[in-house]
Structure 1
Amino acid sequence: MIHQISSSICLPNAASVQPSQISYTSSKSDARTKIGYHTKIPRRTHLESLQSGYLFPEISKQEAKHAQNNPHAKIIRLGIGDTTEPIPDIITSAMAKQVYSLSTVQGYSGYGPEQGNKEIRKAIAETFYQDMGVKENEVFVSDGAQCDISRIQILLESSLSAAVQDPSFPAYVDSSVIFGRAGNFQAETNKFRDIVYMKCGPENDFFPDLSATPRTDVIFFCSPNNPTGSAASKQQLKKLVEFAKANGSLIIYDSAYATYITDDSPKSIFEIPEAKEVAIEVSSFSKFAGFTGVRLGWTVVPEELLYSNGYPVIKDFNRIVCTCFNGASNIAQAGGLACLTAEGYKALRTAVGHYMENAKILVDTFASLGRKVYGGKNAPYIWVHFPGLSSWEVFSQILKKTDIVTIPGIGFGPGGEEYIRVSSFGHRESILEASRRLRKFL
């Protein structure tokens, strides 16, 4: 049976509970016999609207099931986009120095500024936004881009409408569901009623047809895109900014993969004139610095960005950060600052180059098998087309025949059906072995 899933925000790990020990009842589920004590607190309605399990834990479940059924299989993981190469010594040394200093009277520090230490905010502004007019006080350092996506959602009224690229990273839709702006899920279309899905496929160069896109209050946009690996051109982003200005919309721009861009595509929305009036940019150290487990990111909220009443959005975001967050780890920030030194940044470019060489190997492999392949040029993801086939079926067959984990495209939205996403994060020997298996069995 092919599983059709839509993703949801994953819940924290909890103690395992046997089905016989607990029951769940709600207005949207079948009533079951109450067992044991229940509070009188109703479940939040919007959480009931979340569909199935969050995509990546669901993939992990399928992998675990395959491993259990095939105990001798040597599984290659090209699914979840987790980095594999070691963090350069110059960066880990900076974190270690920070750790050891905490054991001294002179070096100990407790809470830091919720917005991030001044030094790293300044370094981020100068490294990534040079000549774009972004000031250090507009940079908010965080524990990662995905966390900031939800903090930004707190800014926005539940009544506001939203648009997403289709396909796109699941967190944009799922956080919109949780905050009450998605409406009911429509199983027949695999979409939420009140979200506009902007089709981004090869037929329109992976950029939405804005002339056919209805106005929404919020536009989530990721470039280079996860999962398709496509980066928007300067002309395309100029159209997006003009579209947002004409409609009075807000762009939430995710640039987490910007350091992988190899051509002249913009690395920031703020390369576009007037973007500071309509956009917030979210980014991360995770994929370019190997900080997926260290956790460090940032968000830029321009002073020029104003609500309809003229009040600066940055003031509200600052209040939310101060209320909901106590600041990024000072150890992680020390590592982030080391990433942005000339020597640290050069070392990181080596790792990025490694992943992009992996991408080329995988692109060439699927192309040799007669598949239409996209991505792999400006992002560490390869987007492979299997016309007429269910993406979950393709995922299952590849796992069964080759012991390789990929991601079914439908998990990124209805526009991802017939595709799989393949990650180039991996050690070179694993990528080469994956190439051999794919050429042999597909």
Structure 2
Amino acid sequence: MSEFIGLFMFPALLVLIAIGIPIAFSMFIVALLFGLMRFGDAAMSLFVTKTIDVSSNYVLGAIPLFIFMGAILQGSGVADRLFQAIYMWTRRLPGSLALAAMLMCTVFGAVTGIAGAVETLVGLLALPPMLKHGYDKSLISGTICAGGSLGTAIPPSITVIVLAPIANVSVGDLFAGIMLPGLLMAGLFTAYILIVSWLRPDFAPATPLEGEQPSFLEKIKVTFVALVPTVALIVTVLGTILAGVATPTEAAACGAFGALVLSALNRKLSFGMVVGALYQTLSITAMIMLIVLAGNIFAAVFYASGGMTEVKTILTDYDIAGWQAIAFVMVLAFLGGFMLDLISIVLILIPIAMPLVVSYGVNEVWFCVLFLIVLQTSYLSPPMAPSIFYLRAIAPTDLRLADMYRGVVPFIVLQVVTFLIVFIFPEVALWLPRMFYGN
């Protein structure tokens, strides 16, 4: 029995989470108790080894750099100018403000890599004008929540950077793999907003055109100043990764430097702003790295205690294999999204799932892309949708939870459609990795 003691780590973890202990400390406590029970004092050497492994992991060094890049761009006024530039082009279309918000989420999803940061930033910019012009509250809620969730599916997603080394997949491969599904999802979201706003004008009343309208050349100039530098920064960062010219950490460093340059060109760079961005980077990075360390230690104790062997035994006893086992992992990931943050789900499930994926001959990049889409769907799904809690924190009181729950449903359906497309047509996820890396 003692050789399979690791199997009981998950019920113990759920109990600690249920009584309110933060996920990172819950994993630390469970790993420590079960490690001592199974290996005695020798467990401490495992803890030290994993701490060294995480702290010296070169890929994880990209996390604070990408967070810093996003924080600088948020604090420099780039986001506000970018929103105005995008809205200038969408204002004659049905649902113009909602379309601008979704496109803004897509662009800034490729800047910050953090879903909550994208949702908060765009929500603060887009909520007031949409409420002012009488947009349907469910459409407002669904647009902000779904758009914010794109930070998970569009590179440089922090979740991808954490997932890749655990899944033993190249970060570049996974960035390339998730790019087309992420853009496909953003396209479906945008099309839905356009169609529903056209069919139901009362959902998105037309905004009056006030004052003298800019000419086409003036629009080009404003767009060039606001949009082109940001997009160029994104293309440079992701392009160097996909082309194999730079590692994710090197590209993130270039991105952070580029954000400082853009901020200086906008005359917004100041000591106070940089200090604020550094503080934000430190707090978010500390939280993420603590969870990553706890998850690595938890997984190491689970493996060493025979947990993976027992999982395979159970699957064999119940004749669960191949796609049944993969589907079971996906269901666990979806349900886990109701009570755990996305990185914690990755750290708990991926070490169990990947040996099964490899043994069943499933393409690892394809599986990881499907896994990320499921995580993003759980992030948006009631009743415990984290995206709704982010929106609740910045929304006025007259924007009710019922509006938010109703608003996210069509976008959840579109996420399921994206999952099915990637599942049925694997090349959607595998074409870019093969083109760039021949995998």
TM-score between the two structures when normalised by the length of structure 1: 0.30
Q: Which has the higher strand share?
A: 1
Q: Which has the higher helix share?
A: 2
Choose between structure 1 and 2 for higher RCO, CA contacts under 8 A separated by at least 6 residues. Answer: 2
TM-score between the two structures when normalised by the length of structure 2: 0.30
